[in-house]
Amino acid sequence: MTLDEFKQIYWMEWIHRLWGRVVGLTFLVPTVYFIARRRVSAPMAVKLVGICGLIGFQGFIGWWMVKSGLKDDLFAPGSHPRVSQYRLTAHLATAFVCYLAMVWNGLSILRERRLLAQPGDSLRLLSRLSHPKLRFFRRSVAALCTLIFTTAMSGGLVAGLDAGLIYNEFPMMGTGLTPPKKELFDPFYSHVTDHSDLWWRNMLENPSLVQLDHRILATTTFVSVLALWTYTRFNPRVRLLLPKDAKKGVRGLIHLVTLQVTLGISALIYFIPTPVASAHQAGALLLLTGAFVLGGRVWMPKRTARLLAQRVQSGPKVARDSPVPKRSSGQVLSSSAEVSGPAKTA
């Protein structure tokens, strides 16, 4: 590595670390303020503190990951210094979990406020969502979120092993759809004499099998999104019950997963150019966000339903779908607040 190349890497790493600290402070400082001023409910305060803990844990995982690249054996002649693919994937997973916790809590607060603004219409909407025919759809969305997350984490293993620099064609891998079996399950990656760890070691450490696993998961994700859209399109009962914004969410997933597959194949066949690879990683987060937003649109918030029922029963004035009164500076809105009015006072 030349001095100029080192400077480029140094400044990229320095900015990344500094940006991570800025992210932590921009969440920690408002959290302390809102809790100290009692602007949030106790359950929401716990969630905010939990997210702050996740941000701190993410920083620790980052240090732990970088530390794995300082082994003496990595500096031998001809070696290629790298961090552990396990720790890199853990760093990526923690970042995703932290981000999704923010997104889900934010969506919950916004959705509760919107539902409480029109109690009568909202009760009818929740009644539609509680129909047994939509239970399978909600479970499918939850399973899809898990699948997308797992696929993204397998991409972390691909990045950690530079597995994208081999078999740079699609859908073929060499002369077939998969590499030879002896290459996929190579005894070289086994660490014990009886080879009892042959399968899982190769799945996590063999670049050929790691890339194949990522291809399989990505293809499964693509097919699953198409299947979910088909289910909502051609099942008449589901098509009738599903809210309009949920239908838009499913269509949005079609666009996002198509873009993500295009970026993944492009990154592979062009030997992983950094801009395309970065866009592919961002696309994974965007696709997961789309799935979470869709889940929020069909999720059944039982506590909100209870608040809506109390509001409708409290009087005919509220039952006529009057909007929620504007909050004063001393009032609070939190999806976790156990209140029956429009807000909780500080």
Same domain, 104 and 159: no
Confidence (pLDDT) at 78? 61
As a whole number of angstroms, the distance between CA 179 and CA 212 comes to 8
Secondary structure class of 325 (helix, strand, coil): coil
* Residue stretches of the chain with pLDDT short of 50: 318-346
CA dist 284 and 256 (Å) reads: 9
DSSP states of 149-209: HHHHHHHHHHHHHTGGGSS-SSS-BTTBSS--HHHHT-GGG--STT-TTHHHHHHHH-HHH
Task: Read off the tokens for 151.
Answer: 């696929």
121 assigned to some structural domain: no
Residue 309 belongs to a domain: no
CA–CA distance, 97 with 146 (Å, rounded to integer): 12
- The residue among 300, 317, 338 that closes a domain is 300
Measure Cα distances from 161 to 41, 87, 166, 195, 340 in Å: 45, 12, 11, 22, 53
Q: What is the identity of the amino acid at 22?
A: V
Q: Are residues 80 and 193 in the same domain?
A: no
Which has the closest alpha carbon to 91: 153, 169, 41? Answer: 153
Q: Is 262 domain-assigned?
A: yes
Number of domains in the chain: 2
Q: Range of 145's domain? A: 129-300
- On whether both 85 and 222 belong to a single domain, the answer is no
174 and 282 in a single domain? The answer is yes
Residues 108 and 170 grouped into a single domain = no
Give the C-alpha distances (Å, rounded to integers) separating 90 from 65, 134, 155, 207. Answer: 8, 34, 12, 18
For residue 204, being part of any structural domain is answered with yes
Q: Are 237 and 142 members of one domain?
A: yes
Whether 108 and 146 map to the same domain: the answer is no
Residues 49 and 148 in one domain: no
Burial of 290 (0-12, 13-18, 19+ CB in 10 A): buried
Tell me, yes or no, whether 17 lies in a domain. Answer: yes
Domain membership flag for residue 91: yes
Tell me: do 194 and 271 sit in the same domain.
yes
Cα distance between residue 2 and residue 13, in whole Å: 17
Residue 329 lies in a domain: no
Residue listed under structure tokens 């996929």: 184
* Shared domain check, 288 and 224: yes
Asked whether residue 118 is assigned to any structural domain, the reply reads: no
**Domain end point (choices 300, 321, 341):** 300
Same domain, 137 and 107: no
Q: Are 279 and 209 part of one and the same domain?
A: yes
Please tell me what DSSP assigns to residue 2. Answer: -
Report in angstroms the alpha-carbon separations of 126 from 114, 116, 240, 333, 334. Answer: 13, 12, 14, 21, 20
